[in-house]
Amino acid sequence: MVALKLGVTANDVKNVIIWGNHSSTQYPDVNHAKVKLQGKEVGVYEALKDDSWLKGEFVTTVQQRGAAVIKARKLSSAMSAAKAICDHVRDIWFGTPEGEFVSMGVISDGNSYGVPDDLLYSFPVVIKNKTWKFVEGLPINDFSREKMDLTAKELTEEKESAFEFLSSA
């Protein structure tokens, strides 16, 4: 979506973050993303200069993407999930290029972003020698904090429901 809006290829956009759950609360964050425009790397937020689109249509479209794929194809979105798995395997095998990171659902223990421990939560990570590490120290604005907390709350509730179910089985 960012690439289309800026008239570049998807390969020209990097470091977009998906925070949290794989649900309608996931939060696509471009605050740390970069785009190559006319041979020069610039911040996506600065390049777009469209706060209302970035906080509105962009977020909601990404959050509803799975449902939109199912509706459009009248089939499962399994191929989309399969593509994501292949991308993760590629990233783990080859690592992330210097200066780039990917979003990956990993265990939240030890993160510096205030996400509770013991959740499988999507974070920005770098991968080297087949080992992932959190990208540390990214500034989080108030809008992002609210979205990140909302998706963490949902994951916490899902985890609690799963444990309740398992303990009663």
pLDDT digits (tens, 9 = 90+) for 40-92: 999 999 999 999 999 999 999 888 877 766 676 666 667 777 888 999 999 99
Domains within the chain, CATH numbers bracketed: 1-168 (3.90.110.10)
| The model's pTM | 0.90
- Percent of the chain past pLDDT 70, that is, above it, reads 93
The one-letter amino acid code at 34 reads K
- Which position among 5, 22, 65, 159 bears the catalytic label? 22
Which string of DSSP letters, residue by residue, matches 82-132? Answer: HHHHHHHHHHHHH-PPTT--EEEEEE-TT-SS-PPSS-EEEEEEEEETTEE
Annotation marks residue 22 as catalytic? yes
